Homo-oligomer: A and B are copies of this chain.
Amino acid sequence: MLSKETLTKLFPDWEDGLYDAILNEAELKEAKAGTTLLKMGQNIKSAMLVVEGTIKLYQEDETGGEYFMYHLNPGEACAVTLVCNYHHEQSQVLAKAVTDIQYLSIPIAFMEKWLNEFKSWHYFVIKTYRSRYEELLKTIHEIAFKNMDERLEFYILKYVKQFGSIVNLTHQDIANDLNTSREVISRLLKKMEHNGWIVMNRNSFDWIKK
């Protein structure tokens, strides 16, 4: 089980009572890398706070397409699950574990209660929304104004920032995340290789630009 100490490190801005509330009411869950944690259209029954590992958030198309938006890391929460009313809100996003993860699952019944009881929870919710709103703005900026080569670079840089400069993704993985085809990614990566930005291997490549 989770210690108050760990919680304090993950969520340093909370007040004391909130840690206790979490320890009492939240369930610590685990999921293997690759698990889908939230599908589009799915009813939201609990909030999700990341304790360990990384989650990727996607916009999902009816026809199966996906577009990667941002990472969720330990100490962060999935904004869409922080609902403040019971009225069966449906998820607008797709969430996948990219590593093995641990997360706190909090029944949405507590959302409103805690908003009333804990100022620091209130701030946490606002902070979460604000930062995710900003991530979405960045995403829109990329798709609306940039060509695929620049979007690919932006995508790789996000990966590198998260996991380091050895990118363990297949071309197909990347194509899925950017809602394009494998051939397009292969050709663009080949260009990056020619430019000396990456060193390519099977199943991975190394980002060496600058």
> Interface centre among A116, A119, A126, A132, by most B CB within 10 Å?
A126
Q: Would you give the 0/1 interface string for A30-64, flagging 1 where the beta carbon is closer than 8 Å to chain B? A: 00000000000000000000000000000101010
A115 lies within 8 A of B123 (CB)? yes
Partner of A133, one of B65, B123, B136: B136
List residues of chain B with CB within 8 A of the CB of A63: 145
Q: Would you give the 0/1 interface string for A121-149, flagging 1 where the beta carbon is closer than 8 Å to chain B? A: 01101110110111011011101110000
Q: Does A79 contact B (CB under 8 A)?
A: yes
Q: How far is the CA of A67 from the CA of B144 in the complex (A)?
A: 7
List residues of chain B with CB within 8 A of the CB of A61: 141, 144-145
A137 lies within 8 A of B84 (CB)? no
Q: Does A93 contact B (CB under 8 A)?
A: yes
Given contacts A126-B126, A133-B133, contact A145 B115 (CB under 8 A): no
Give the contacts of A80-106 with B (CB-CB under 8 A). Answer: 80, 83-84, 92-93
What is the chain B residue whose CB lies nearest that of A116?
B119
Q: Does A179 contact B (CB under 8 A)?
A: yes
B137 lies within 8 A of A179 (CB)? no
Q: Does A108 contact B (CB under 8 A)?
A: no
List residues of chain B with CB within 8 A of the CB of A77: none
Q: Does A69 contact B (CB under 8 A)?
A: yes
Give, as a whole number of angstroms, the nearest-CB distance from A134 to chain B: 6
List residues of chain B with CB within 8 A of the CB of A93: 137
Which residues of A approach B to under 8 Å, CB–CB?
A: 59, 61, 63, 65, 67, 69, 79-80, 83-84, 92-93, 115-116, 119, 122-123, 125-127, 129-130, 132-134, 136-137, 139-141, 143-145, 179
Between A and B, 7 residue pairs with Cβ closer than 8 Å are A59-B141, A84-B130, A122-B126, A133-B133, A136-B136, A136-B140, A143-B143
